[in-house]
Amino acid sequence: MSTTESQHVRIFDTTLRDGEQSPGISLNTVEKLEIAHQLARLGVDVIEAGFPIASPGDFGAVEAIARASNDFPTHHPVIAGLARAQAPDIEAAARAVRDAERPRIHTFISTSDIHIEHQFRSTREDIKAQARAAVAHARSFVEDVEFSPMDATRADLQYTAEVCTVAIEEGATTINIPDTVGYTTPDEYRAYLETLYRLVPGLDGVVLSVHCHDDLGLAVANSYAGLLAGARQVECAINGIGERAGNASLEEIVMLIHTRGDACGLHTTAQTREIARTSRLVARLTGYVVQPNKAIVGRNAFAHESGIHQDGVIKERSTYEIMDATSIGLEANSLVLGKHSGRAALKQALAELGFAVDGQALNTAFKRFKEIADKKKHVSAMDLEALVTDELRDALASYTLEWFEVDASSRRPPQATVAVTMPDGRTVEGSFTGDGPVDAVFRAINIATGLDARLREFRVDAVTAGQDALGETSVVLECDGQSAAGQGVATDIIEAAGRAYVRALSNAVRKAQAAAQGVDAAAAEGVATP
């Protein structure tokens, strides 16, 4: 292996698998494909596209991404499907990724005694045998197999080394050491991996990977410590989303390596100028807003309030900025269109943002653009991203808000009337009152559709700054025993809220229908993963 190869860190993105396991996130196939395309533009090495056995929807999404990956215009990343150390899981993953140019099966089983005893109700010897059989079975389908001893950082190191050894013997090409519950510290993790190299002779012949959770706020620090110990794959997610407190943040680990390559001697092939755009896309499609003070992609990451800091930045930006904002793609915000812009200008602007829009899709986007442009002086790149994403959601929704009217006053409860297009194409109307105009619209939608949905969360954010900014709303509701989220964008907050509500309804009903079908793999729902 050349020095350059030995210093290359593979970026394994698990936004579409571990990230989607965040409470309230439920991405459909088209949304996952959009994110996968953007991840390819970002230049990630591996896309963990999902957990195929979990549901027909997840299987279909992984299969669609595997097929589409061969035509990604930038490069063809490895497409991985997750599987428990069980034959049905492995076979489902194999079917889902088989059309990818570079397929991978990622299989896992716990090695910690607390999991073996309480979750698996098994023994160390049985777990070792299952690991051996799982890797061998996966290897019979694909040449690229990753194995993870789940909860490894709380497991006996000697035993974990034995399990990793049998996995390598059966053909595993990547060994991933998960800090599943975010328990370890950087010093402990580095020492653990260095010892593992001594205990597993074949480990230096495969790729060692790290997968760290952020329960103690150490996911990136632990991942970096693992890289310093010799790991050359880091598993992470856009905006750090994932189970509980989330995963190591992709943008943080990439920019850490990019900015401090002098200190670690490592590099990635990530296209850092795509980071900001990828972050915004994932935030919009998942409804998980990025906190303002989030490193790299937060709204305040390159903002300066202190007079001393402002003075320094005015004189020389490097006085208080260790990164150039343009290096993560923040210059995209400068793109501005107005109400006099035509279809060609819109098409070109969308192409520069990575959206290939033509035909009827362009006509639809242009119509929506003109509606917004009449209400805003300027339409920025961030506005365009939000609008295209919003149209994508509308095309997938089975319920659509056609129009609404609200009679609001401080002297009496507001009255809302709405028209909603149903899945069968009928347009129905409903009226109701509420505590406020938004609540009245939500209740009127329930009356119109005949669904007893209950609001769980509601949030409003501005896409850009200014009085005429687009408003972006996020709704989480419960319907038919299913929790689902929806997002909406408009200059009118009430309209944005109504759009978000019917989309959340669409997602909830879709999930309820899938559950009613009695999916054989329902047992995989809620299973612990690395």
Task: Place 270 in a pLDDT band, splitting at 50, 70 and 90.
Answer: very high
Residue 520: pLDDT above 70?
no
Which of 379, 394, 409 is the last residue before a domain boundary? Answer: 394
Cβ burial 249-270 (10 Å sphere, 16+ → b, else e): bbbbbbbbbbeeeeeeebebeb
Residue 72 domain flag: yes
Residue 433: pLDDT above 80?
yes
218 and 111 in a common domain: yes
296: left (phi over 0), alpha (psi -120 to 50) or beta: left
Residue 413 domain flag: yes
Q: What is the mean pLDDT of the chain?
A: 90
Task: Place 305 in a pLDDT band, splitting at 50, 70 and 90.
Answer: low
Which of 259, 286, 313 is the last residue before a domain boundary? Answer: 286
User: 373 or 423: which carries more pLDDT confidence?
Assistant: 423
d(CA 190, CA 212): 12
Residue 100 domain flag: yes
Check residue 518 and give its pLDDT: 57
Residue 461 domain flag: yes
Enumerate residues 6+ apart whose C-beta is below 8 A from 128: 162, 163, 166
Which of 266, 286, 306 is the last residue before a domain boundary? Answer: 286
Classify burial at 343, counting beta carbons within 10 Å of its beta carbon; exposed 0-12, middle 13-18, buried 19 or more.
Answer: middle
Residue 522: pLDDT above 60?
no
Lowest model confidence (mean pLDDT) among 14-23, 52-61, 83-92, 518-527: 518-527
d(CA 473, CA 72): 31
489 and 380 in a common domain: no
What is the domain-level CATH number for residue 423? 3.30.160.270
Residue 342 domain flag: yes
177 and 81 in a common domain: yes
Residue 333: pLDDT above 50?
no
Residue 60: pLDDT above 90?
yes
Residue 382 domain flag: yes
Check residue 4 and give its pLDDT: 61
What is the domain-level CATH number for residue 43? 3.20.20.70
For the whole model, what pTM was predicted? 0.83
Domain that holds residue 419: 397-516
Per DSSP bridges, beta strands 78-84 and 454-462 are unpaired
Convert the pLDDT of each residue in 130-152 to its tens digit.
999 999 999 999 999 999 999 99
274 and 133 in a common domain: yes
Convert the pLDDT of each residue in 18-55 to its tens digit.
999 888 788 889 899 999 999 999 999 999 999 999 98
Check residue 455 and give its pLDDT: 95
Check residue 515 and give its pLDDT: 73
Element (H, E) at 119: none
**What length is written for the chain?**
530
Lowest model confidence (mean pLDDT) among 139-143, 147-151, 364-368, 427-431: 364-368
